[in-house]
Chain A
Amino acid sequence: MTAPARTPADAPPAPGEVLLRAEGLAVHFPQRGGPPVRAVDGVDLEVRRGETLGLVGESGCGKSTLGLALLRLVEPTAGRIELDGTDVTALGRRELRGLRRRVAMVFQDPYASLDPRQTIGRIVAEPLEVHGLAPGRAARRARVDELLAMVGLDPSFRDRRPHELSGGQRQRVGVARALAGEPELIVCDEPISSLDVSIQAQVLNLLVRLQRELGLTYLFVAHDLAAVQHVSDRVAVMYLGRIVEVGDTARVTGDPAHPYTRALLSAVPVPDPPAERVRRRIVLSGDVPSPAAPPSGCRFRTRCPDAFEPCPHVDPALADLGGGHRAACHLHGVVGTPVDEAGAALLDDPA
């Protein structure tokens, strides 16, 4: 409503250096008496320094597991993660502590992620102790007050416990704790979805302000496309363990290249009754297939309104459509890994 006018100096983000890179990342969970659940199944992803990369997808697509795997809070079963050029997939226990200082996490449910028996002061001080920051009681206390102030909480919150706080205040504590280790990258996993509508905007504004002030990089994992679009420079769309589309926010939300992204965007209700009445929704049929037995070829083909001949036979590659916009869909050319002989014959450019 009160958006200040854009000044000519407001340039779109320069393509920054890569802070975090995942290559062929997979997280498979073994299942008793059955094939493993392929929660994350071959993900290539780059997060650039200073940007917000939105990661969207529906429940069960693997987006939260991917976020956890980047911090090695769940162990990847294959692939490689680099932070600033250093391979973190091979780090030992002691070195992992350094990783978790540089990459922090804000969780969805501030009710579940804060220890109910601890005071807010203890919760925020814990990462300081773990990482040996602000040594000494007085210094630590001053730093806790500073962190609370950064997230808009009065120092008096130090002596309260989580149950005395509202949902929005608890999420602020979760953010203060994430900031304690002075991270470069924060993985925000559904940070506003458990909050009331009028509180969501407060927390989104806080995250944006902190990024501006501290030069943070965010991976913003959420199912709420409107919120993701608001905060993100780039967006990655995930379906059944794979990234199916990634690119600048304006490109992905304004001119989506993957039929799944199109369906997802068309399903988001907009608070505008006349627009809602004339809108054509792409209603997908059926449910998401089990990640233990994904369909052959393109994983979206069983629900895709545009599926055609090569889709069951060729696993589509995330192909560049120009300007860093990438999509894994044969509508833009049949490229990828054939799953059978029929697939090999269908490739656009059989090498």
Chain B
Amino acid sequence: MAAEPVLAVDDLRVTIATRRGPARVVNGVSWAVAPGETLAVVGESGSGKSVSVLSLLGLVPRPPATVTGRATFQGQDLVALPEEALRKVRGPGIAMVFQDPMTSLNPVLTVGRQLTEGMEVHLGLDRRAATERAAELLDLVGIPSPRERLASYPHHLSGGMRQRVMIAVALSCEPAVLIADEATTALDVTIQAQIVELIAELQRELGMAVVWITHDLGVVAGIADRVAVMYAGRIVEEGAVDDLYADPRHPYTRGLLASLPVLGDRARGGEGRHPADLAVIPGLPPDPVHLPPGCPFHPRCPVRADERCATEEPPLRPVPGARGPAPHRVATFYDLPPEDRR
């Protein structure tokens, strides 16, 4: 990472009180993102990837959640900030795009009003200037006849259009950081390609930092500068996207990448004319109420090469030979032999 980070998260922990006991959803997560940079936070459901980011913006209710750690944004610690002050950060400082635009757009407000409201409150524009800018934003995100669309309601629009409206709303206050939480997961691949392209273009134009939260290792490969892989509320591996994909060092990362059927790989060649088995990670992710002792992945791990795996949490440390200010790091007690996936 060359530039100063715009958002830096340090030892973030989130515990949520449940009837079954405290659920340890995020267990000491640290990352930073610089202007113009794209960080991908990758994990499966229950890995804590979404909660870790929602909790920064006060979007995880406390209680039942308890949040500790620091998240430094423009000299303030978001974790310690009261709701009133956080409201001023959401939108102009850090904006979010969610998976389901229907739940985050207001169904009874026109598209235009949802765009202008934030600009009037946060940028101090008057109605006329805000409306002008709203039409520009719709045009920017590729919505045809933007001026007419201002009067539309969300249910008038297709899924891809709604997602673009939500991006326009997120961009309306010119945020320093854009967080996209599974922003393209519900969309078809051709629409996903449009949205991914659009965000990259806007990022170049506006110099935003972008944090993509996703389970899709394919999408990440094309958009991220750096990747953090989460499992059971912890980062188990992180690094520059090329390093991490070419030579994954954590058994979980390797398992995930190996389990993906890849377009273009002629995977057939199993018994008879049937396709060969895909590699699988056996078992299920742990229950955050009953996290195993030691490394959270050890019950499913095919390696377990160190006796401490079952008793101690392996710290995130640089892989041998890793260099630079944001080196490739992995949370294991041992070093797997390099694996050249190319």
Contacts and interface: CB of A to CB of B under 8 A. Distances in A.
A binds B: yes
Contact of B222 (A202, A227, A269, A288): A269
Interface in B241-288: 241-242, 245-246, 255-264, 266-281, 284-285
B271 A212 contact: yes
B56 interface: no
A198 B281 contact: yes
A211 B274 contact: yes
A277 interface: yes
A13 to B, nearest CB: 5
Contacts of A231: 275
Nearest to A303: B190
Contacts of B216: 197, 269
Contacts of B285: 196, 198
B262 A281 contact: no
The interface centre, meaning the residue of B158, B159, B197, B280 with most chain A CB atoms within 10 A of its CB, is B280
A208 B270 contact: yes
A191 to B, nearest CB: 13
A249 B217 CA distance: 23
A3 B218 contact: no
B160 interface: yes
A271 B245 contact: yes
Contacts of A6: 269
A229 interface: yes
A290 to B, nearest CB: 9
B217 A201 contact: no
Given A231-B275, A268-B218, A226 B270 contact: no
B142 to A, nearest CB: 8
B44 A267 contact: no
A226 B263 contact: yes
A250 B266 contact: yes
Contacts of A266: 193
A281 B241 CA distance: 20
B263 A268 contact: yes
Interface residues of B, number: 57
Interface in A185-200: 196-200
B278 A283 contact: no
Contacts of B215: 196-197
Task: Please tell me the size bucket of the interface on A.
Answer: 35 or more
B256 A198 contact: yes
Contacts of A211: 274
B270 A284 contact: no
B189 A264 contact: yes
Contacts, number: 161
Contacts of B219: 269
Nearest to A204: B278
The interface centre, meaning the residue of B44, B193, B281 with most chain A CB atoms within 10 A of its CB, is B193
Nearest to A51: B273
B194 interface: yes
A317 to B, nearest CB: 24
A29 to B, nearest CB: 18
A249 to B, nearest CB: 8
A272 B221 contact: yes
Given A196-B215, A226-B261, A230-B261, A5 B269 contact: yes
B242 A268 contact: no
Contacts of A168: 284
Interface string A39-72: 0000000000000000000110000000000000
A208 B274 contact: yes
Contact of B190 (A4, A9, A271, A284): A284
A4 B269 contact: yes
A58 B264 contact: no
A268 B256 contact: no
Contacts of B193: 266-267, 281, 283-284
Interface in B155-196: 158-161, 188-194
B269 A10 contact: yes
B284 A12 contact: no
B76 interface: no
12 contacts: A4-B270, A4-B271, A9-B272, A12-B273, A201-B260, A201-B279, A225-B189, A233-B273, A264-B189, A269-B222, A274-B342, A287-B191
Query: Top 3 closest A-B pairs, CB basis?
Result: A269-B218, A230-B261, A276-B222
Interface of A: 1-6, 9-13, 58-59, 166, 168, 196-202, 204-205, 208-209, 211-212, 223, 225-227, 229-231, 233, 249-250, 253, 263-277, 279, 281, 283-284, 286-288
Given A200-B259, A271-B218, A283-B197, 7 more contacts: A2-B279, A3-B270, A201-B278, A223-B188, A230-B268, A267-B189, A270-B221
